Amino acid sequence: MEYLPLHFDLRGKPCLLVGGGEVALRRATILLRAGADVRVVAPAIDADLSALVESSGGDCRIGSYHAGDLQQVALAIAATDDEALNRQVWQDANARQLPVNVVDRADLCSFIFPSIVDRSPVLISFSSSATSPVLSRKLREKLESLIPVSYGRLAEFVGRFRDKIKQLITAAAQRRRFWEWVMDGPVAELVLAGREAEAEQLLEQSLRDRDEKTLLGEVYLVGAGPGDPDLLTSKALRLMQNADIVLYDNLVSDGILELVRRDAKRHYVGKRRADHSIDQEDLNDMLVRLAREGKRVLRLKGGDPFIFGRGGEEIETLSENRIPFQVVPGISAANGCASYAGIPLTHRDYSQSVRFVAGQLNEGSVDLNWDELIPTNQTIVFYMGLAGLADICRQLMKHGARAETPIAVISKGTTPEQRVLTGSLDTIVELANEAGIAAPVLIIVGEVVKLHEKLRWYPDRPGFE
Ligand SMILES: C[S@@+](CC[C@H](N)C(=O)[O-])C[C@H]1O[C@@H](n2cnc3c(N)ncnc32)[C@H](O)[C@@H]1O
């Protein structure tokens, strides 16, 4: 470790900034955010810099730097393009054993400025030890997207209860368990969702009724999207990292399962056609039982849980049994597959509306109100339609759709296995049979399919044209 990361309290402390340009402005901004008393000295000082510093109660002196400027300051920064001057500041500061930073000269720094993810009062600071600012920036982008902005709110919330809980729960181990329950469970989730009054109520109630409350778990009904792990929402990722047990179905890809907390138990509850590994009612009961055992249960579903996902039924049972739950939407197969196939679901010239339809076979035919589904100026998206593809095409034509109406069959959309097959209502069945298309498959019918040729951008599975 080349540098020890420390968080300095600079509130009200004088800090010297030598330099009056853009770089000095950036340094002044961060010092002022930390509440420092900034003193700038330079022969010329940019108007933005002087306005910022002076409006924050700091001081700007037009003139040359001299060693006396270092008197009684907490740290010094040289941000000029005059190498000799920068070196002079470094030498003078060293002579006084003052922390010093010369911008872009790691060899003239006794401290460096880290990259910061600011979720005040939570601060995450990190550096590449002055080796690669670009790498630090990339890392910061990742952290920014992973750590919800609301974490600052959570830190403030728990800070308010710290003393009270210390008094009420005197045994350190019990207190730690209680805090873990707060951080990992419904209290923290309520705060993160902006429902602080409810969080406070729950926390107070749990303090009164500790054993029972800390034992009640929670269910996260999370949409895992259509396959590509990059399409998960950051909230989904966070809850995936929180869970004690995950119940997942067959449409959840391996790449996504890998992102679930390593030590969480995994339980497959998938429902393939004609292979119902677990009955829906049993599954609903299982969710209730696990939550009552105090588990944080991740119910991970392909796509969006509220689109042909039976998510509504699962949370109805939870609601009836007063089990806390939350629902995280996912990118549905229609959105994911259409985007990755370059087929806009609506388009000013071709389609003014879009319908999502369940196209599964029921006793040998697809039972739908076909008159409503004629794709004139609208796009029809069939989920679960692979087995019924021939019937879907036949019914649409029988009810007035033109035989040459464009249709796309998208297999394993958004994954490296994606295949997109396009044709017309009278040709697609044969094409799909020849190509040996595999489930899961999404079917899009309408003029928008014509745009695929022009707008395709995601490569089909190698070997498939
Ligand atoms: C039971 S439904 C679940 C839909 C899911 N809740 C959603 O919002 O996407 C399953 C159907 O979704 C479609 N599907 C899901 N993922 C898909 C993918 N990656 N590629 C193509 N179709 C997909 C298929 O039509 C599949 O039969």
Q: Calculate the CA dihedral of residues 185, 186, 188, 192 and round it to 10 degrees.
A: 130
d(CA 412, CA 414): 7
| Ligand 1 center to 385 CA (angstroms) | 10
**Atom nearest to 334 CA in ligand 1:** 9
Q: Is pLDDT above 70 for 274? A: no
pLDDT for 182-212, tens place per residue?
887 889 989 988 899 999 999 988 888 766 5
Give the residue, out of 233, 251, 252, 340, with the most ligand 1 atoms within 8 A of its beta carbon, to mutate for a pocket test. Answer: 251
441 C-alpha to ligand 1 centroid (Å): 7
pLDDT at site 387: 96
- Grade residue 272 by pLDDT with cuts at 50, 70 and 90: low
- Sign of the dihedral through C-alpha 255, 260, 266, 270: negative
Q: Which atom of ligand 1 is nearest to the CA of 412?
A: 20
pLDDT-based confidence at residue 277 (cuts at 50, 70, 90):
low
pLDDT of residue 327: 96
What is the tens place of the pLDDT at every residue in 278-299? 888 999 999 999 988 878 899 9
What's the pLDDT score for residue 129?
Answer: 86
Q: What pLDDT sits at residue 256? A: 95
Instruction: Taking residues 452-465, report their average pLDDT.
Output: 84
What is the 304 CA–ligand 1 centroid distance (Å)? Answer: 9
Shortest-distance Cα residue to atom 10 of ligand 1: 384
* Residue 80 binned pLDDT confidence (cut-offs 50, 70, 90): very high
CA distances to 183, 227, 293, 309, 462 from 222, in Å: 19, 14, 20, 11, 31
Query: pLDDT digit string (tens) for 336-387?
Result: 999 999 999 999 999 999 999 999 998 889 999 999 999 899 999 999 999 9
pLDDT of residue 64: 95
- CATH, domain range 14-113: 3.40.50.720
Contact 421, 376 (CB under 8 A): no
Residues with Cβ within 6 A of ligand 1? 226-227, 251, 301-304, 307-309, 332-333, 337, 383-384, 410, 412-414, 440-442
450 as an active site residue: the answer is no
Nearest by Cα to 347 from 274, 244, 435, 455: 455
pLDDT of residue 175: 79
Burial state string for 213-246 with b = 16 or more CB within 10 A and e = fewer than 16: bbebbbbbbbbbbbbbbebbbebbbbbbebbbbb
Q: What is the mean pLDDT of residues 54-75?
A: 95
Answer positive or negative: Cα dihedral of 160, 146, 148, 235: negative
What is the chain's Cα-based Rg? 30
pLDDT for 170 equals 84
Pocket test for ligand 1, best of 231, 308, 409, 415 (most atoms within 8 A of CB): 308
Domain positions in the chain: 14-113, 148-214, 216-331, 334-455
DSSP element (H, E) containing 76: strand 75-78
Where in 198-350 does DSSP place strands (E)? 218-223, 245-248, 265-268, 271-272, 275-276, 296-301, 325-328
pLDDT in tens, 242-261: 888 999 998 999 999 999 98
Q: For all residues of the chain together, what is the average pLDDT?
A: 92
* Residues contacting residue 399 through CB under 8 Å, at least 6 positions apart: 370, 371, 373, 374
Contact 242, 184 (CB under 8 A): yes
Report how far apart, in Å, the C-alpha atoms of 233 and of each of 227, 229, 239, 268, 436 are. Answer: 13, 9, 10, 22, 32
Using the mean position of ligand 1's atoms as its centre, give its distance from the Cα of residue 125 in Å. Answer: 41
| Model pLDDT, residue 364 | 86
Examine the pLDDT at 131 and tell me if it is beyond 90: no
Q: Which stretches of 224-340 are assigned E, i.e. beta strand?
A: 245-248, 265-268, 271-272, 275-276, 296-301, 325-328
Q: What is the pTM of this model?
A: 0.69
Ligand 1 atom at minimal distance to the Cα of residue 413: 20
Catalytic-labelled residue, pool 13, 235, 265, 271? 271
- How sure is the predictor about 45, in pLDDT bands with cuts at 50, 70 and 90? very high
pLDDT for position 436: 93
130: pLDDT confidence band, cut at 50, 70 and 90?
confident
Q: Summarize the confidence of residues 27-46 as an average pLDDT.
A: 96
Measure 225 CA to ligand 1 centroid, in angstroms.
9
Spacing, Cα 322 to ligand 1 middle (Å): 30
pLDDT score for 111: 94
Res 451: pLDDT: 97
Q: What is the assigned CATH class of domain 216-331? A: alpha beta
Which numbered atom of ligand 1 lies nearest the CA of 415?
Answer: 19
What CATH code would you report for 334-455?
A: 3.30.950.10
The span from the CA of 72 to the CA of 336, in Å, is 60
pLDDT (0 to 100) of residue 463: 64
- pLDDT of the residue at 133: 81
* pLDDT at residue 275, as a whole number: 58
Q: Identify whether 271 is a catalytic site residue.
A: yes
- 302 alpha carbon to ligand 1 midpoint, in Å? 7
CA separation for the pair 405, 426 (Å, rounded): 8
Q: Which of 228, 244, 249, 304 is catalytic?
A: 249
Percent pLDDT > 90 in the chain is: 72
Residues 301 and 252: their CA atoms lie apart, in Å, by 6
Q: What integer is the mean pLDDT of 219-227? A: 96
**pLDDT attached to residue 242:** 83
The tens digit of pLDDT for each residue in 394-423 reads 999 999 999 999 999 999 999 999 999 999
Check residue 52 and give its pLDDT. 96
CB 297 within 8 A of CB 305: no
How far is the C-alpha of 300 from the C-alpha of 260, rounded, in Å? 10
Q: What is the pLDDT of residue 276?
A: 56
The pLDDT of residue 278: 80
Share of the chain above pLDDT 70, in %: 96
**Which ligand 1 atom sits closest to the C-alpha of 333?**
9
Q: How confident is the model at residue 215 (pLDDT cuts 50, 70, 90)?
A: low
Index of the ligand 1 atom closest to the CA of residue 418: 20
pLDDT score, position 420: 97
Provide the token pair at 245: 């047990």
Instruction: Supply the pLDDT for residue 465.
Output: 56
Choosing from 232, 442, 461 the residue with most ligand 1 atoms within 8 A of its CB, the one to mutate for a pocket test is 442
What's the pLDDT tens digit per position in 98-126? 999 999 999 999 999 999 998 988 999 99
